[in-house]
Structures are given as structure tokens and as C-alpha cells.
């Protein structure tokens, strides 16, 4: 009985071992089935790419200045008297020769009449002495009068002629004084406020207080200082060929064009600058003396230059760089030297060549030596109508 049980027990043990082994194999297979698969490579990053092209540009240099009137006149009385009329409104535009003030003319009209009376007396004296001299010359021929008497008549005639000249000058002076009671505008322009009103007595002469000021408005000067290098490169010997643009403080662009009117005759050695004055037409009268002016001077000879979008330029400490996209759509770091700005674009003086493609949008999400999915756009950032678009433009949120 015991012998029969031993083989049965051995078989049972073997079956249990086999069952446990199968379970372990099943667990191992299940564990392998739930293992995480190996991560695949990320897709190429979509970026906007533009082709670098050469354009004909004019180099511009910016300056700050102030507007000045071409003509500025302080109106002062040339005769003393009482103001009886003011003929303009404060700040009005006036024409050349237009009446501004009237000083009481009555004393000067009386002085003119008095001078004319003196002239009449002088002319009468001239006529009398001339007739007396003629009689003396006839009598001296017959030795009827002494030579001394004839000489006295000659002297009286000459004295009467001189007095007549003086009387005429007095009349002219009185006439001018009467005209000066009517103060007119010497130039066309905009008048300031009246500093003396009706009833005030004013003095005459250069030391007298000004009655008002008058500035011309048809054209306006813009005065600004130019550094020595810019003067030598742009202005020296080319004054009439330098383009000049003007913008006011509240204007984003430079809507007015003018010409250089004058350049100072010496360089200021303390500041290293020279004073330049440009002239601009002012048909609408918006330019006023004293306003802040933004000036741009352009080179007289345009040149070919490479321009790239400002968004395509990155900063690496003290360097500027762009990411160039090659034919295999891989990016490469390229250091560039920048020039002046032209609107949303910037001149690249070195580091790029025409025909190369650069990343213009999505720069902050792209690294050198990275494969990208290029989306062709124009250098200004607009979509290139000649290139197919695989996807919408990438927004740069950097």
C-alpha cells in the first residue's frame, strides 16, 4: 500500500511544479505585453521662413531740432503818440502791408502842414533873391552899384536856395512821421497778441517796447546739430542733393520733405557738431516756431542692401544673430552685423547673402541644428502669394 502511494505522490509533485512554471511564464508574457514602447522622435517644428533679397535703399540718419521762422519781426513804433486803433485779432494771419496799429496822426498832420508852409516861404525867398540878383547884375554892368553889393545879392540867392532844400527835407520828414502813425505788416505771416491797446501812449525808437511780433509761416526753418562724421559723409559738398525729411512730435512718420538751406561756417569743437538749417514748405500753417522737430538726413547716393524683418534678429549677449534654414530644412546659427532701421526691416551689413532663407517667426522656439517645417512668407511678415502654404502662420508670443 505504501509502495503504491509513493509514485502517486511523485506525480502529483511534478504536476504542481509544472503548473507553477506555466503561471510564471504567463505572468512574464503579460508583463512584457504591458511594457512601455520606446519614444519616437518629435515632429519638425513649424516656423515662418523668408528669403533674403537685396533692395535699393537710401541710408537715413536721425536728428532732433527746433523749428524757426524764416522771418521774425518785432513791431515797434517809429513815432511816439497815442494808439487810437488796433486792426488785427490776436494770432491772426496778416498779409504784407496790412494795417496793424494806428497812432494818433493829428500832431503829425499839423507838423506836415507847418513844414509845407516853411517850404513855401523858402521858395518865395528863392524867387525874390533870384530877381534881386538879376537886377544887380544889370546894374553892375553900368557901374551903378558896388561890387560888394552884387556879392551880397549872390550870397542871399545861394542862401535862399539852401533854405529851400532844408524846407523840402523838413516836409519829407514830416510826411514820413505821418506815415509812421500807420503801422503795417512788413511781411506776411502770423501776428502775436497786441502788447499795447487803444489809449496807451507809446514811445519811439529801438528801445521802445514791442507792440507785437510777426513771424512768417509760408516756409519754416528746422535747425539741428550734425556730428562730424555724418557731416563729412552726407552734407559736405552735397548740400543741394541731400534729401531731408521732417516729422513733428505727434507724428510717427516723416511726412514733410525739404532741402538744406544753410550750414554753419565752423565746427563746434566742444560738442563735435555743426549747425545745419533745412527749410520746409508750410502750406497748411501747422509748423510753428519753437516746435520740436524730428529730422532725417538721407544719403545722396542710394545703394543695394540686404534687409530682414526685426523679428528674425536674436540677441546673444552682445551679438546679434539669425537662424538660417538650409536645403534640408535644418537651422544654423549665423552672427550678423546690423545697420539702420527701415520701417519694420533692418539693414544687415554682413553675415548674410541674398537668396538665403531665415526664420522670421518662431525664433524663440527654434534651436540651431534643428529640423524645422518651413512656412514661406514675405520678409515683411506677410504671406508669400507665390509660395504654397502648408499651414497657418505661426504666432510669435515671445
- Is the pLDDT at 247 greater than 90? The verdict is yes
User: What's the domain range around 236?
Assistant: 215-298
Q: Among all chains, which residue has been given the C-alpha cell 536856395? A: 161
- Is the pLDDT at 393 greater than 90? The verdict is no
The reply to whether 290 falls in a domain is yes
Percent of the chain with pLDDT strictly greater than 70: 84
pLDDT-derived band at 255, boundaries 50, 70, 90? very high
Domain count, the chain: 3
The reply to whether 65 falls in a domain is no
Are 228 and 294 part of one and the same domain? yes
pLDDT-derived band at 365, boundaries 50, 70, 90? confident
pLDDT digits (tens, 9 = 90+) for 111-150: 999 999 999 999 999 999 999 999 888 888 888 888 898 8
pLDDT digits (tens, 9 = 90+) for 32-86: 444 444 456 678 888 999 999 888 888 788 899 999 999 999 999 999 999 999 9
pLDDT digits (tens, 9 = 90+) for 2-18: 444 444 444 444 444 44
Higher pLDDT, 4 or 280: 280
- Is the pLDDT at 390 greater than 50? The verdict is no
Are 322 and 277 part of one and the same domain? no
CA distances from 22 to 28, 32, 258, 368 (A): 10, 15, 98, 54
pLDDT-derived band at 91, boundaries 50, 70, 90? very high
Q: Which residues are CB-contacts of 261 (< 8 A; sequence separation ≥ 6)?
A: 221, 277, 278, 279
CATH code for position 140:
1.10.287.470
Instruction: Of 51, 58, 53, give the one whose Cα is nearest residue 307.
Output: 53
- The confidence score (pLDDT) of residue 366 equals 87
C-alpha grid cell, residue 81: 503818440
Q: What is the pTM of this model?
A: 0.66
CATH code for position 246:
2.40.30.170
Q: Among all chains, which residue has been given the C-alpha cell 519694420? A: 344
Are 220 and 294 part of one and the same domain? yes
Instruction: Of 196, 205, 183, 212, give the one whose Cα is nearest residue 80.
Output: 205
Are 272 and 326 part of one and the same domain? no
The reply to whether 347 falls in a domain is yes
The reply to whether 128 falls in a domain is yes
The mean of the pLDDT values for the chain is 85
Are 120 and 148 part of one and the same domain? yes
The predicted model gives 193-221 an average pLDDT of 94
Instruction: From 236, 269, 298, give the residue that closes a domain.
Output: 298
- The confidence score (pLDDT) of residue 234 equals 83
The reply to whether 41 falls in a domain is no
Burial 208-228 (b: 16+ CB within 10 A, else e): eeebbbbbbbebbbbbbbbee
- The confidence score (pLDDT) of residue 362 equals 82
Quote the CA–CA distance of 263 and 37 in Å, as a whole number.
78
The reply to whether 118 falls in a domain is yes
pLDDT-derived band at 344, boundaries 50, 70, 90? confident
CATH code for position 366:
2.40.420.20
The reply to whether 17 falls in a domain is no
Q: What's the DSSP call for residue 383?
A: B
Are 236 and 272 part of one and the same domain? yes
The reply to whether 314 falls in a domain is yes
Amino acid at each position: 500500500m505504501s509502495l503504491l502511494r509513493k509514485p502517486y505522490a511523485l506525480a502529483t509533485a511534478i504536476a504542481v511544479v509544472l503548473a507553477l512554471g506555466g503561471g510564471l511564464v504567463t505572468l512574464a508574457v503579460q508583463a512584457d505585453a504591458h511594457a512601455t514602447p520606446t519614444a519616437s522622435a518629435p515632429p519638425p517644428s513649424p516656423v515662418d521662413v523668408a528669403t533674403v533679397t537685396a533692395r535699393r535703399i537710401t541710408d537715413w540718419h536721425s536728428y532732433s531740432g527746433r523749428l524757426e521762422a524764416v522771418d521774425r519781426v518785432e513791431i515797434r513804433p517809429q513815432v511816439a503818440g497815442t494808439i487810437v486803433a488796433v486792426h488785427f485779432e490776436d494770432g491772426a494771419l496778416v498779409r504784407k502791408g496790412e494795417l496793424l496799429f494806428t497812432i494818433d496822426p493829428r500832431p503829425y498832420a499839423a507838423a506836415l502842414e507847418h513844414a509845407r508852409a516853411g517850404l513855401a516861404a523858402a521858395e518865395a525867398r528863392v524867387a525874390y533873391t533870384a530877381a534881386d540878383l538879376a537886377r544887380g547884375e544889370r546894374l553892375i554892368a553900368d557901374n551903378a552899384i558896388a561890387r560888394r553889393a552884387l556879392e551880397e545879392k549872390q550870397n542871399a540867392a545861394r542862401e535862399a536856395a539852401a533854405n529851400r532844400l532844408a524846407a523840402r527835407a523838413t516836409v519829407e520828414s514830416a510826411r514820413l512821421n505821418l506815415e509812421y502813425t500807420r503801422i503795417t505788416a512788413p511781411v506776411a505771416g502770423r501776428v502775436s497778441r497786441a502788447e499795447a491797446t487803444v489809449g496807451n501812449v507809446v514811445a519811439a525808437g529801438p528801445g521802445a517796447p514791442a507792440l507785437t511780433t510777426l513771424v512768417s509761416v509760408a516756409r519754416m526753418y528746422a535747425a539741428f546739430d550734425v556730428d562730424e562724421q555724418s557731416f563729412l559723409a552726407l552734407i559736405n559738398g552735397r548740400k543741394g542733393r541731400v534729401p531731408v525729411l521732417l516729422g513733428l512730435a505727434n507724428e510717427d512718420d516723416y511726412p514733410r520733405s525739404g532741402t538744406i538751406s544753410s550750414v554753419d561756417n565752423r565746427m563746434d569743437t566742444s560738442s563735435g557738431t555743426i549747425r545745419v538749417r533745412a527749410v520746409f514748405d508750410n502750406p497748411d500753417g501747422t509748423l510753428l516756431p519753437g516746435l520740436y522737430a524730428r529730422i532725417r538726413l538721407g544719403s545722396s547716393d542710394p545703394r543695394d542692401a540686404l534687409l530682414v524683418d526685426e523679428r528674425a534678429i536674436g540677441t546673444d549677449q552682445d551679438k546679434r544673430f539669425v537662424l538660417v534654414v538650409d536645403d534640408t530644412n535644418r537651422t544654423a546659427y549665423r552672427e550678423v552685423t546690423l545697420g539702420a532701421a527701415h520701417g519694420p526691416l533692418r539693414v544687415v551689413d554682413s553675415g548674410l547673402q541674398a537668396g538665403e532663407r531665415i526664420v522670421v517667426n518662431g525664433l524663440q522656439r527654434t534651436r540651431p541644428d534643428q529640423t524645422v517645417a518651413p512656412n514661406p512668407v514675405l520678409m515683411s511678415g506677410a504671406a508669400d502669394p507665390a509660395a504654397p502654404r502648408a499651414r497657418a502662420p505661426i504666432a510669435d508670443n515671445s
